[in-house]
């Protein structure tokens, strides 16, 4: 009788133990899923701001920083110490595009890479139009009001050209140097204009909004084969735009190439303010829209003393295809700046 009672107690204990293990496993899995969904990975550990999606931390190992403005969070990376280098971005990418430049230079300089509102990890203001003029105001607020930068090098490509150079021309005394790659800063002509007019058609706008066309098919066809075949990389470019409304950010930019013509014409008149600055030019030659011979010639005419790197195997997204070219240019620029620090 005692043995039977003992056996029942033992069986009950085992069942309780099994249930405890199962519940513990369920709780652990649940907490892991919550942690993954939230993906809180901030430099300021007291800040519990969540990244809206998860990226491969081997590709993008940096901790997040946040600039709060009007109740909206703008995301940026801020790594290293020394001469500040501001890495811009265009469409449909974000600071992820600059990850390999950050990795290479954060031991030698202070490298800052932001995500424009509606891009990357940044949130989107209410009633935001995604125009270059609006983006410029956010960049200025980040760099001057929040980070209070006094001097910096700026790296521009794609829409980072017009937006970044708008910031630079309105604050030329703060600019130590500029690296320019596959971009423009004037009224669009030729294939760039044709591309914009195509993207303004209802058919193409809906393709971008319904299929995430810009951040998937177009992006993947514009980067090197190794990156194109790496799911961690292609996912990182696609994930910021999970809904039709979120993709509006990527639809507006190509339309603004022609819709912002007067703003771009005005910007061109201001470029001479930067002619005394150290400039490096990098052209990915597989891109015939903003690295055509005509566009190369325009940049060379503006900055005739600028060293030029021509990259036959690089396309439009030069930071993805040849980050080492930017590292080379920036190291040379910083070395030449050292006597003037």
Residues with catalytic function = 158, 287, 316
C-alpha span between 287 and 283 (Å, rounded): 8
Q: Which two tokens stand for residue 41?
A: 């990975």
C-alpha span between 54 and 139 (Å, rounded): 24
Count, residues in the chain? 341
SS3 content of the chain, % helix, strand, coil (to 5): 50, 15, 35
C-alpha span between 88 and 28 (Å, rounded): 40
C-alpha span between 65 and 110 (Å, rounded): 14
CA distances 321 to 119, 183, 230, 311, Å, are 20, 15, 13, 9
What SS3 class is residue 41? coil
Helices (H), the chain: 2-38, 99-105, 132-140, 160-170, 190-199, 202-211, 219-221, 225-228, 231-238, 248-259, 261-270, 293-302, 318-321, 323-337
Strand-pair category, 110-114 with 152-157: unpaired
CB 41 within 8 A of CB 61: no
- Residue 13 host element (H or E): helix 2-38
Q: Per the omega criterion (within 30 degrees of 0), is the bond before 201 cis?
A: no
Please count the CA atoms within 13 angstroms of the CA of 302 that sit on its side-chain side: 25
Q: Say which residue the tokens 């995604």 belong to.
A: 130
What SS3 class is residue 228? helix
CB 179 within 8 A of CB 153: yes
Other CB atoms within a 10 A radius of the CB of residue 252 amount to 22
Other CB atoms within a 10 A radius of the CB of residue 257 amount to 26
């Amino acid at each position: 009788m005692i043995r039977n009672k003992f056996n029942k107690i033992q069986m009950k204990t085992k069942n309780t133990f099994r249930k405890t293990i199962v519940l513990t496993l369920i709780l652990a899995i649940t907490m892991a899923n919550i942690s993954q969904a939230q993906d809180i990975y901030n430099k300021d550990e007291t800040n519990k701001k969540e990244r809206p999606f998860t990226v491969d931390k081997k590709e993008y190992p940096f901790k997040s920083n946040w600039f709060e403005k009007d109740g909206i969070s703008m995301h940026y990376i801020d790594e290293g110490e020394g001469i500040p280098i501001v890495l811009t971005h265009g469409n449909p990418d974000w600071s992820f595009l600059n990850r390999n430049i950050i990795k290479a230079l954060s031991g030698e300089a202070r490298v800052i890479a932001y995500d424009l509102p509606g891009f990357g990890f940044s949130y989107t203001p209410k009633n935001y139009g995604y125009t270059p003029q609006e983006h410029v105001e956010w960049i200025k607020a980040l760099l001057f009001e929040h980070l209070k930068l006094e001097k910096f090098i700026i790296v521009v490509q794609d829409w980072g050209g017009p937006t970044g150079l708008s910031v630079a021309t309105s604050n030329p005394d703060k600019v130590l140097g500029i690296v320019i790659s596959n971009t423009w800063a004037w009224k669009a002509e030729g294939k760039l204009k044709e591309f914009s007019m195509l993207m303004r058609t209802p058919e193409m706008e809906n393709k971008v909004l319904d299929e995430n066309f810009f951040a998937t098919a177009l992006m993947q066809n514009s980067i090197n084969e190794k990156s194109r075949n790496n799911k961690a990389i292609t996912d990182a470019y696609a994930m910021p735009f999970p809904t039709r409304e979120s993709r509006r950010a990527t639809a507006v930019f190509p339309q603004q190439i022609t819709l912002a013509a007067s703003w771009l014409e005005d910007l061109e008149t201001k470029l001479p303010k930067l002619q005394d600055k150290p400039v490096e030019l990098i052209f990915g030659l597989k891109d015939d829209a903003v690295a055509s011979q005509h566009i190369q010639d325009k940049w060379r005419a503006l900055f005739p003393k600028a060293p030029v790197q021509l990259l036959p195997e690089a396309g439009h997204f030069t930071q993805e295809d040849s980050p080492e070219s930017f590292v080379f240019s920036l190291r040379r620029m910083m070395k030449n700046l050292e006597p003037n620090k």
